[in-house]
Every structure is written in structure tokens, then in C-alpha cells.
């Protein structure tokens, strides 16, 4: 039987009735009006997870991490967040051994195909940011097809950052503005933050309110460098394959404890620049 303060509330997803008591207790502490609209996650620790368990192949950690991706996505969808962005494959990851990259691409392809029923069931719309065109043909085909299949879904937007680098995105945005100026479609004097935002991969989405990094590491690793200017940062000590709903709820609760001042004093109004 639920303890006092843990009874279902009107805003809870119906499935919360089946959640463990500890997770229901965390859910009871959350204020629905103060949930972040956009959560971004740096999924770190897959290789260490594999090594700690005696696996010689790091890909075993990435395979285990799919369960964490599924649970985080499902929970964000159930809580009716607007967007979840996952750092799936960075520009720097291409430097890894060829065998590992090939295994990661095969795993990505398997994920994109295998998770289609889950995405549809939870009304999730898939998007990709970065340079997904650099993916192998099979992975790119699976990505494009899953994006097409989920395009009409109206719930959570799941952004997969693929062949992504924050600096690369900023350079591409600057190049886009330069091309508009050269074509006579934009006056350089009218370039402001809103104009820059419109050139980013995340154009049209709210900026991340919460950035979560797993494995206890304290760095942003070239991820969403422009967009996380005012994001609250939560560092989870667990490795990504061990990240579950309870850890996401803890991150959301930590977020709600923060006083967001956006550089001012006593002002909780976020800066606006066109989104």
C-alpha cells in the first residue's frame, strides 16, 4: 500500500502505479509545472561498465546501454517532456578502432529498427542532429526510415546526436549565415542570437533546461555548447548501462531544487532569442 504523500496524483502517468515505491516517492516530490521541457544526456561509461564485468569487448557496454536509452526515453515520454537529446555518437568517436566503430554502427542500425514499436507505442518522434549523412549506408537508411515512421507522432521528440560535435555545429551555423549574407538574403547588421539559433541543428526546439552526465565525469565533451548556456547540470555517479528511471527521477528532483537566475538576481525569466 502506498505511504502518505505517495498516493497517485492527477498528473502522474497511469503506469506509475506499477513503479517501485521508491520511484513513486520521488515522483511525489516533483512539481509538474517545473519539469524541464528539454533534457540532454551525455551517456558515458559504457566501456568502463564492460571492463568492470570482465568483458574484453567494449561493445558489450554499448549493448547494455540500449536498455538505459529505452527506459530514459519511455520515462520522458510518460512525463510529457518536450524533448530528450542523447549524445549517441560524437565526431571524435570516428577515431576509435575501425572494428569498434563498425560494431557501433551495426548496433545503431539494430536499435533504430528494433525500437520502432517502442517509439510508436510511446508517441515519440525521432530526429537526428549532427552530421548523420556521414553514417554508413545501412545505418543512415534505418535512421531515415525510423524518422519517417515516427514523423506524425506528437509526443516527446527524441534527438539522437550522431556524428555530432558542438564546435562543428557552431561552425556550420556560422557558415550558413555567411552563405545567406553572400546571397543577399541577410544583412550582417541583423545577425543576432535568434538568427544564429535558426541555423543550429536544434532550431525550433527549446534549449535544454537540464544536462545530465553519467559516470561521474565533470565535463561537457563538446556537446550542445551553444544550447546549454543556461542549462542546469546534474552528474550521476552511475555508468550509463546502469542508469534507470530512478536516476532520471533523481536528476529531475535535483533540477527542481535549483534556483535558475539566468545571470540575474531574483529573476527566473529565461532569456529569449527567437525560439
| Residues acting as catalytic residues | 44, 93
Residue 38, C-beta contacts closer than 8 angstroms, at least 6 positions apart:
81, 82, 83, 84, 85, 205, 206, 207, 208, 209, 210
User: Which stretch of DSSP H or E encloses residue 217?
Assistant: none
Residues in the chain: 275
CB burial class (10 A; 0-12, 13-18, 19+) of residue 93?
A: middle
| Residue entry with cell 565525469 | 217
Distance CA 250, CA 253 (A): 5
Distance CA 207, CA 68 (A): 23
Asked if 160 and 86 count as a contact pair (C-beta separation under 8 A), the reply is yes
Amino acid at each position: 500500500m502506498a505511504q502518505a504523500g505517495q498516493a497517485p496524483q492527477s498528473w502522474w502517468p497511469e503506469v506509475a502505479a506499477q513503479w517501485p515505491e521508491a520511484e513513486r516517492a520521488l515522483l511525489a516530490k516533483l512539481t509538474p509545472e517545473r519539469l524541464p521541457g528539454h533534457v540532454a544526456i551525455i551517456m558515458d561509461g559504457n566501456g568502463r561498465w564492460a571492463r568492470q564485468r570482465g568483458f574484453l569487448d567494449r561493445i558489450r557496454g554499448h549493448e547494455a546501454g540500449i536498455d538505459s536509452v529505452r527506459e530514459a526515453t519511455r520515462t520522458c515520454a510518460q512525463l510529457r517532456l518536450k524533448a530528450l537529446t542523447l549524445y549517441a555518437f560524437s565526431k571524435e568517436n570516428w577515431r576509435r578502432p575501425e572494428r569498434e566503430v563498425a560494431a557501433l554502427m551495426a548496433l545503431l542500425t539494430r536499435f533504430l529498427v528494433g525500437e520502432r514499436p517502442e517509439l510508436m507505442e510511446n508517441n515519440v518522434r525521432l530526429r537526428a542532429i549532427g552530421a548523420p549523412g556521414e553514417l554508413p549506408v545501412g545505418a543512415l537508411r534505418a535512421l531515415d526510415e525510423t524518422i519517417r515512421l515516427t514523423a506524425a507522432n506528437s509526443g516527446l521528440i527524441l534527438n539522437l546526436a550522431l556524428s555530432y560535435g558542438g564546435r562543428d555545429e557552431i561552425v556550420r551555423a556560422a557558415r550558413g549565415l555567411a552563405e545567406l549574407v553572400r546571397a543577399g538574403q541577410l544583412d550582417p547588421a541583423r545577425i543576432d542570437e535568434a538568427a544564429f539559433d535558426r541555423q543550429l541543428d536544434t532550431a525550433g526546439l527549446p534549449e535544454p533546461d537540464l544536462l545530465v552526465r553519467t559516470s561521474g565525469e565533470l565535463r561537457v565533451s563538446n556537446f550542445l555548447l551553444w544550447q546549454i548556456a543556461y542549462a542546469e547540470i546534474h552528474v550521476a555517479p552511475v555508468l550509463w548501462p546502469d542508469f534507470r528511471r530512478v536516476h532520471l527521477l533523481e536528476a529531475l528532483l535535483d533540477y527542481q531544487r535549483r534556483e535558475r537566475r539566468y545571470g540575474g538576481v531574483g529573476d527566473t525569466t529565461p532569456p529569449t532569442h527567437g525560439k
